[in-house]
Amino acid sequence: MKVIDEHRSFGGWQRRYTHHSKTCGCDMTFALYLPPAAEHDRVPVVYWLSGLTCTDENFVNKAGAQRVAAELGIAIVAPDTSPRGEDVADEDVYDLGQGAGFYVNATQSPWSTHYRMYDYVVTELPDLLADRFGEQVDLSREAIAGHSMGGHGALVIGLRNPDRFAAISAFSAICNPVAVPWGEKAFSTYLGDDRKAWAEYDASDLMAHADHGAALPPVLLEQGLADGFLEEQLKPEALEQAAEKAGASVEVRRREGYDHSYFFIATFIDEHLRFLARYMGV
């Protein structure tokens, strides 16, 4: 693993790393913000998963999260959104292939060779953090967040691993991917025709079929009402209905005038990090 970029920020360090991933079978990149508190204590960790066409840099450069992360004393880890490289399968479209991993473990050829983003985020990346940054980050205190496709990833990973993640935050999340064009396209390509396999990566389905009163992580979902993808692709109402059925804690904040962009994320990221920090015991 090597550092490819670093910047001092609000007394802490914003760095980018590259390493060879056994899970994805290629070199992967992730960003890590370590707050000043990490210089003398182990700090809790928030994983941020970005959306379609993004890399590990979008959130780091646009959200303005470092200030409040430094104040709260939390680390933020932002992995890339897919495997990449000349040998990695791709399509000449924005919503499939490189930059569009959908945080699933692909089962269909040629995607299954590299597209194992679920395992990368859930297992390999935390193991790497524990090995290389174990004296600075406390992996017994984790939360997960994301935007759009990454909001879908955060919801699914958090709901499938409720013993790991204290809380889930999402902006403009794809809440019911089995029922929208983005999800149908990605899942049929990566996972094949078995819709039971699709359901394992659908937050609304996972929540609807959870045991009533099960100890699911609390969810805060931020949704702009001027978001052009809201009606066709995102479906927050499906998650709300599933939460009611499961007796789960899901708060959806609908914001007039806000769209799908990082201007929206930057406006409310402080509130979301404080929400996650509270459940991580900060």
The answer to whether residue 260 is catalytic is yes
Residue 99 DSSP code: T
138 is catalytic: no
Residue of 9, 21, 82, 148 marked catalytic: 148
Displacement of CA 17 from its chain's centroid (Å): 18
Strands 75-79 and 219-224: unpaired
Rounded to whole angstroms, the Cα distance separating 135 from 128 reads 13
C-alpha angle with apex 162: 159 to 168, nearest 5 degrees?
Answer: 60
Residue 148 appears among annotated catalytic residues: yes
Distance between CA 89 and CA 71 in Å, rounded?
A: 41
Q: Which of 80, 138, 202, 227 is catalytic?
A: 227
CA 170 to CA 146: how far, in whole Å?
5
Q: Is-contact 45 137, C-beta < 8 A?
A: yes
Out of 114, 147, 260, 272, which one is annotated catalytic?
260
The answer to whether 29 and 16 are in contact (CB under 8 A) is yes
Give catalytic residue positions: 148, 227, 260
